[in-house]
Amino acid sequence: DADVTQTPRNRITKTGKRIMLECSQTKGHDRMYWYRQDPGLGLQLIYYSFDVKDINKGEISDGYSVSRQAQAKFSLSLESAIPNQTALYFCATSDPRTGDSNTQYFGPGTRLTVL
């Protein structure tokens, strides 16, 4: 089984709809991240969390919100989706205590299309 899972894997929605993307991990890592990827722009950090009570904005947090329901779960919400939020979204985890230099491990991604 995959260590980092994301649901749904693909989603098509309409402008103005509320969307939630979910991420779960079995790696036991404390740190979790949400990125979006657009063609030619690389990965951009949306939000990150170091534990259940710690939430931090990344480079491009406007229009997004997150919830860290448990150590293993980190959800990303688009309260009112707009077409320029069409992108590939990745969740990642890391833990500096594991001795792997705080390497980030990525989920398989969610492809979101906003019409």
Partner 1 sequence: GQNIDQPTEMTATEGAIVQINCTYQTSGFNGLFWYQQHAGEAPTFLSYNVLDGLEEKGRFSSFLSRSKGYSYLLLKELQMKDSASYLCAVHNQAGTALIFGKGTTLSVSS
- 58 or 63: CB nearest partner 1: 58
In the complex, the residues that contact partner 1 under the rule CB under 8 A are: 33, 35, 40-45, 48, 50, 56, 58, 88, 90, 100-109, 111
- 12 or 18: CB nearest partner 1: 12
- 17 or 65: CB nearest partner 1: 65
- 40 or 62: CB nearest partner 1: 40
Which residue in 1, 11, 28 sits closest to 109, CA to CA?
11
Q: Give the Å distances, CA to CA, from 80 to 5, 24, 65, 83.
A: 24, 23, 11, 10
Q: Which long-range contacts (CB under 8 A, 24 or more apart) does 36-45 make?
A: 36/60, 36/85, 36/87, 36/88, 36/89, 36/90, 37/87, 37/88, 37/89, 37/90, 37/109, 38/87, 38/88, 43/90
Q: How far is the CB of 27 from partner 1 (least distance, A)?
A: 13
Q: How far is the CB of 45 from partner 1 (least distance, A)?
A: 5
Q: How far is the CB of 18 from partner 1 (least distance, A)?
A: 25
Q: How far is the CB of 32 from partner 1 (least distance, A)?
A: 11
